[in-house]
Amino acid sequence: MTAAAKNQDHRPRVAAERRERMRKRLIESAMIVFAEKGVGASVIPDVVAAAEVSQGSFYNYFRTNEELLTAVSAELSAGMVQVIEAVVGEIGDPVLRVATGMRCYLHLARSHQLLARFLAAGGLRVLSQQSEVFRYLPGDVEEGQQRGDFAPMPLDIVMDVTSGAALVAFTRMAHGRTAKDYPEKMVGALLQMLGVAPSRVAVVLAPPLPKLSPEPASLLARAQARADAQSDEAAG
């Protein structure tokens, strides 16, 4: 800490920390409410109730439903990218990179039902806003297309059909149990769709994935823990 900072009144810092905690709390609550009720309806009263804040203080943080949705979506994506990149970052082969990245994304949703529910409720509109998670996809596919591993196809169509397939998978995982290898089966079909030969698909899906653990401080981990506690409470 610099001398200047030491001399500063500690009150603004405490206030900023409190503000940050409150913002996090609202985003957590919002994710749970969106996952339950969908993203179309106005959720602000439910979020206010779930976060146990006053309506007035809510509006100090977010003005609209849409702003809240964008905040949830951005924070979630950032956390997921961190987890996925830790696995995918070192891979050189674009086909293996796409395969592994998509497997991680689907497995995260399979092991965090709250995430699957949120993404399913958000639909294609929210999914296409999750640009962070799909940030590397166009580049990876383009590289693979140049090598002839992926079929030639405009990249915007690649993005559209990939997010469509992912959304169906999230919806299945949000509303019921799926087999442990369901993500691999979907990613396999997805790779075939992008033009990868079936023999190659089997090879790139073979390596086991490491355990995917989001940071305990990430929105995904915090909100899932809260949702679990709530359902335990309801059950007990």
Partner 1 sequence: MTTEDTPNHRSRVAARRRAETRAKLLESALLVFAQKGPSALIEDVIAQAGMARGSFYNYFRTNDELLDEVASEINNELLRAIDPAAGRSEDPAERLACGSRMVLHAVTRFPLFGAFIARLPFQTANSSLLGVRFMARDVSLGIMERRFRDIDVRVAADMVMGVMMSAAYGVSRERMDLDYADACVCALLRALGLPRAEASRLCQLPLPPFELPDNSILRRTQMFQDESGMIAPSLIRPN
Binding site for partner 1 (CB under 8 A): 38, 40-41, 120, 123-125, 151, 153-154, 156-157, 160-161, 163-169, 171-172, 175, 182, 185-186, 188-190, 192-195, 198, 201
Cβ neighbors of 148 (< 8 A, separation 6 or more) are: none
For the CB of residue 4, give the shortest distance to partner 1 in the complex, in Å: 50
Per the CB < 8 A criterion, the answer to whether 129 and 69 are in contact is no
Minimum CB distance to partner 1 smaller for 83 or for 186: 186
For the CB of residue 197, give the shortest distance to partner 1 in the complex, in Å: 9
Minimum CB distance to partner 1 smaller for 83 or for 201: 201
For the CB of residue 228, give the shortest distance to partner 1 in the complex, in Å: 24
Minimum CB distance to partner 1 smaller for 94 or for 122: 122
Going from the C-alpha of 153 to that of each of 138, 189, 190, the distances in angstroms are 11, 16, 14
Per the CB < 8 A criterion, the answer to whether 76 and 31 are in contact is yes
Residue corresponding to tokens 């891979």: 91
Q: How far apart are the first and last CA of the chain?
A: 47
For the CB of residue 216, give the shortest distance to partner 1 in the complex, in Å: 31
Looking only at Cα atoms, what is the longest distance across the chain?
66
Minimum CB distance to partner 1 smaller for 82 or for 138: 138
For the CB of residue 13, give the shortest distance to partner 1 in the complex, in Å: 41
Per the CB < 8 A criterion, the answer to whether 205 and 188 are in contact is yes
Cβ neighbors of 76 (< 8 A, separation 6 or more) are: 31, 115, 118, 130, 219, 220
Minimum CB distance to partner 1 smaller for 51 or for 194: 194
